[in-house]
Amino acid sequence: MAKIFPSRTARIILLAMIGVFALLRLILHSFPSANLELGPYNIHHLFVGIILVIGAGTPLILRLPRGLTRWFLAATYGTGLALILDEWVYLIVTEGTDSDYLLAESVYGAVFFIAVVTLYVAVLAYRKR
Classify 96 in phi/psi space as left (phi over 0), alpha (psi -120 to 50) or beta. left
Tell me how far apart the alpha carbons of residues 64 and 106 are, in angstroms, rounded to a whole number: 35
Chain centre to alpha carbon of residue 75: 10
Residue 39 in any domain: the answer is no
Residue 1 in any domain: the answer is no
pLDDT tens string 37-77: 889 988 889 999 999 999 999 999 899 889 999 999 999 99
Range 3-28 average pLDDT: 87
Residue 37 in any domain: the answer is no
- The helix (run of H) or strand (run of E) holding residue 1 is none
Residue 84 near residue 53, CB atoms below 8 Å: yes
Residue 69 in any domain: the answer is yes
CA end-to-end span of the chain:
10
The pLDDT value given to residue 120: 94
Expressed as residue numbers, the domain containing 93 is 7-32+45-126
Say yes or no to pLDDT of 129 above 60. no
Number of domains in the chain: 1
Residue 119 in any domain: the answer is yes
pLDDT tens string 82-116: 999 999 988 899 988 888 888 999 999 999 999 99
Residue 1: pLDDT band (50, 70, 90) is very low
Q: What is the pTM of this model?
A: 0.88
Tell me how far apart the alpha carbons of residues 41 and 15 are, in angstroms, rounded to a whole number: 31
Q: What is the DSSP string of 73-97?
A: HHHHHHHHHHHHHHHHHHHHHS---
Q: How many CB atoms lie within 10 A of CB 40?
A: 5
